[in-house]
Amino acid sequence: MARRRQLYEGKAKILFEGPEPGTLVQYFKDDATAFNAQKKGTITGKGVLNNRISEFLMQRIAEIGVPTHFIRRLNMREQLIREVEIIPIEVVVRNIAAGSLSTRLGIAEGTRLPRSIIEYYYKNDALGDPMVAEEHVAAFGWASAQDMDDIVHMTLRINDFLTGLFLGVGISLVDFKVEFGRLWEGEEMRIVLADEISPDNCRLWDTKTNEKMDKDRFRRDLGKVEEAYQEVAMRLGILPEAGARDLKGPEVMQ
């Protein structure tokens, strides 16, 4: 197989040059990190599951009219995506208090918030992705007022939609993180959903037992991490054909 040019390696994914201009191949690794990569590990089969889960969620989100970078899944660990210019902001939506919000404001985990809250974090590993206000985003030119309008509008629609989708399979969407990118089509630019949506960047709790079914199992050493990701895929009806047996998938080709 021809060697492909690797463009970027992140903590959980690798981006390769795509087969046509304007496309990229997104490869999902089993690597997991937490606390700005101070904690490192592997979650066997995570890449295969997140590839599937993100494919499924991006397709459903596109169906409600929110544009995404996703084109199609290529194999167990790879998907073809549109090349976008990533906006350097992590957009976090919270429905129920947990994680850093609970720590920062002293609100017990599990407290339902009076309304959904959107927060912004500046994507910068060296700084540990600090929280920023919309004022910083505007002042430093990371995104325009129009971009931010689009981002907030799309994020709220995604939250409403995913909350219902997960509730239907017995899962509470506690919070999640999304990223957006600028897609250029000639002179025209539009903002699209990028990156991934998976148990790596959502908090998902079983509605009956409140059991955690996401990366907090890894962050907090709760055990049964692989099983939790599999359970999410199973409830969404998208476990790979071979089932839980076949989660290793092909090795990365370079």
Cβ distance to ligand TMP smaller for residue 4 or 219: 219
The DSSP-derived string for 2-47 is ----EEEE-SSEEEEE-SSTTEEEEEEPSEEEETTTTEEEE-TTHH
Give the CA angle between residues 190, 191, 193 to the nearest 5°: 140
Cβ distance to ligand TMP smaller for residue 17 or 129: 129
Give me the least distance between CB of 148 and ligand TMP, in Å please: 19
Give me the least distance between CB of 247 and ligand TMP, in Å please: 21
Q: Are 180 and 87 in contact (CB under 8 A)?
A: yes
Which residue number has the CB closest to ligand TMP? 99
Cβ distance to ligand TMP smaller for residue 85 or 125: 125
- Nearest Cα to 61, choosing from 196, 172, 199, 190? 196
Give me the least distance between CB of 188 and ligand TMP, in Å please: 30
Q: In sequence order, what are the beta bridge partners of 171?
A: 206
Cβ distance to ligand TMP smaller for residue 175 or 226: 175
Q: Which amino acid is at 6?
A: Q
Helix (H) or strand (E) holding 235: helix 225-236
For residues 16 and 34, give the distance between their C-alpha atoms in angstroms, rounded to a whole number: 24
Residues near ligand TMP (CB under 6 A) are: 92, 98-101, 129, 175-177, 201-203
For residues 197 and 57, give the distance between their C-alpha atoms in angstroms, rounded to a whole number: 7
Cβ distance to ligand TMP smaller for residue 101 or 143: 101
Helix (H) or strand (E) holding 78: strand 78-82
Cβ distance to ligand TMP smaller for residue 89 or 101: 101
